[in-house]
Structure formats: C-alpha cells, structure tokens
Amino acid sequence: MPTPLRIYHNARCSKSRSACALVAEAGVVAEVVDYLETPPSAEELRELLRKLGLKAGELLRRGEAVFVEHYAGRELSEAEAFEALRAYPILMERPIVVRGERAVVARPPERVRELF
C-alpha cells in the first residue's frame, strides 16, 4: 500500500481547495490537516522545511495582515522566521503536501501530482 499523502490545508484558500480536489479526483488516499486548527509542532515544522528543502523565511506569506502588522520592514533571521511560523500558522505558505520523505508547496495546485 502506498504511503498516504498528508495535506496541510486551509479551507479558505482556493489553491488549497484545488489541491485537495486534484487528490480526490486521482483517488489518492490523503490525510487532511487543518494547520490553523492543529498547527505543526516545532519538530514537525523542522521536518516539513527539511522535506521541502526550504528555509523558514521562504515559507512565509509576507502579504498576510499579521505579517505586515508584526514584521513589516524587518529582515527576519532564520530563527525569527521559524518563530513567526510557530506563533502565526496563517503565515505558512499553503497547501503543503507530504508523502514519505518528499514534500511540495502545491502552488500551483497541480504540483501535488509530483507526489502521486
């Protein structure tokens, strides 16, 4: 049995909804995690970043109101970016789709197919 997908999902995000729809259409088993309700732990976030091959600052959504309110005009260190993601999960780029040791930010949503 193939490793199931895990989708870090925000139902209010059209890209996230589209990625979930592509997974469902393909008949792929997926665990959907509402990361705003159940944010990743520090360890999970480190693992996500490793699997994505990204730094915390590269995963930040800088256009979000909370980013502008708390961090506008600042150059965040890697540690500060990591803590911003932990404090405000809404800042995490989405959707993130994981299968085993691989992960993608499914923007555009079709990137989810890389994990099928």
Please pick, among 13, 32, 52, 76, the residue that the annotation labels catalytic.
13
Do 57 and 76 contact (CB within 8 A), yes or no?
yes
Within 8 A by CB and 6+ apart from 92, the residues are: 8, 35, 59, 60, 61, 85
Is residue 82 exposed (0-12), middle (13-18) or buried (19+ Cβ within 10 Å)?
buried
20 given a catalytic annotation: no
Q: Which sequence positions are flagged as catalytic?
A: 13
